[in-house]
Amino acid sequence: MGRITNCFERLKNAGRQALIPYVTAGDPAPAVSVPLMHAMVAAGADIIELGVPFSDPMADGPVIQRAAERALMQGTSLRDVLAMVAEFRRQDTGTPVVLMGYLNPVEVMGYDTFAKAAAGVGVDGVISVDLPPEEAHGLLTALRGQAIDPIFLLAPTTDDIRIEKICAVASGYVYYVALKGVTGAAGLDVQSVADKLAQIGRHTGLPVAVGFGIKDADAAATVAKVADAVVVGSSLVKKIEQNAGQSDRIIREIADVLARMRVAMDA
C-alpha cells in the first residue's frame, strides 16, 4: 500500500479529513521550496501537491500563472522539482508528495524515464491537468509500473459515464474541481459540491479531494464536512506574491493559513 492510501486510512480511522496544500516548486525561489514543504507539514498538511511550473498553464488563474512565471524565470525544470522531492525525503519519509502540472514537460522527459526518476526520489502521485484518461494510456502504464498513483480531475461537467471511466483508472484519490473555472476563482457553491460528491461516491470508494476556490479556514471547514480532503493553492501562493523576497515571512504566513485551516477542519 502506498503512502497516499496509508494516509487516507489513518485519517479515516481518526475521523479526520486531509489538508492538501499546493505550492509551485521554485516559487519564490528554488531554495525556499523544501523548507516551505517542511513548514507546511509542521502546520498540519497531510499531503503536499507540488506544482511543476509550465510556460502555458491553461487551467490556472492569474495567481498560479504568476507563480509559474517566477519559478521559470529562475530556471526551475522538472528535473529540479524531482531533486527538491529527493531533498525533502531526507527528513520526511512519511508525508505523501504529489506532483501536479501539465503533460508536456513529462512528455519531453519520456514517460518511463520520468516515472522511474519520480519513484526513485519518493514521489507518490502525479496529476497531469491536461491529460484525460482517453490520452493517458502510456503515462498510466509507466506510473503503475513504479507504483505511483495517477490522480485524475473530476469537474462539475463530468457525467456519470466519465466518472465511472476516470475512477476506473485512478488510484490514491480523485480530485474534484469545485467550480467551472480556473484555480483561485470565486463562486464556490458548497451545496452543489456536496451533490456532486454524492454522485461520485456512487461510482468509487476512492477518497475525494476538493479544490479550486477554497479561500479560507471557513471554506475549508465547510468543504471538509462533505469531502475526504481539502486542497488549497491560490490563497497560499498569494502570500508568496505579497511578501516578495522575504522567504522567512512567506513560510510563516503560509504555515499560519494552514494551521488555521487545520484547526477549523478538526473542530
Q: Which is nearer to another protein, 11 or 52 (CB)?
A: 52
Q: Is 29 in the site for another protein (CB under 8 A)?
A: no
Tell me which of 19, 39, 40, 166 binds another protein, using CB under 8 A.
166
Query: Distances in Å between the alpha carbon of 207 and those of 4, 5, 38?
Result: 10, 9, 24
Q: By CB under 8 A, how many residues form the interface with another protein?
A: 45
d(CA 106, CA 79): 10
Q: Which stretch binds another protein (CB under 8 A): 154-162, 221-229, 240-248, 258-266?
A: 154-162
- 155 near another protein (CB under 8 A): yes
Q: Identify the active-site residue in 27, 60, 124, 149.
A: 60
CA 235 vs. chain centroid, Å, equals 14
- Kindly name the residue from 9, 27, 46, 49 that is annotated as catalytic: 49
98 binds another protein (CB under 8 A): no
Among positions 47-86, residues that touch another protein (CB under 8 A) are: 54-62, 65-66, 69, 72, 77-79
8 A C-beta contact, residue 90 and residue 41: no
Nearer to another protein, 159 or 202 (CB): 159
Q: Name 140's Cβ contacts closer than 8 Å, sequence gap at least 6.
A: 133, 150, 169
CB of 6 to another protein, least distance (A): 26
Site for another protein in 184-243 (CB under 8 A): 185
Q: Directed axis angle between helix 78-91 and helix 111-121, to 10°?
A: 20
Rounded to an integer, what distance in angstroms lies between the CA atom of residue 7 and that of residue 158?
27
Residue numbers annotated as active site: 49, 60
Binding site for another protein (CB under 8 A): 54-62, 65-66, 69, 72, 77-79, 102-109, 129-132, 134-135, 152-159, 162, 166, 177, 180-182, 185
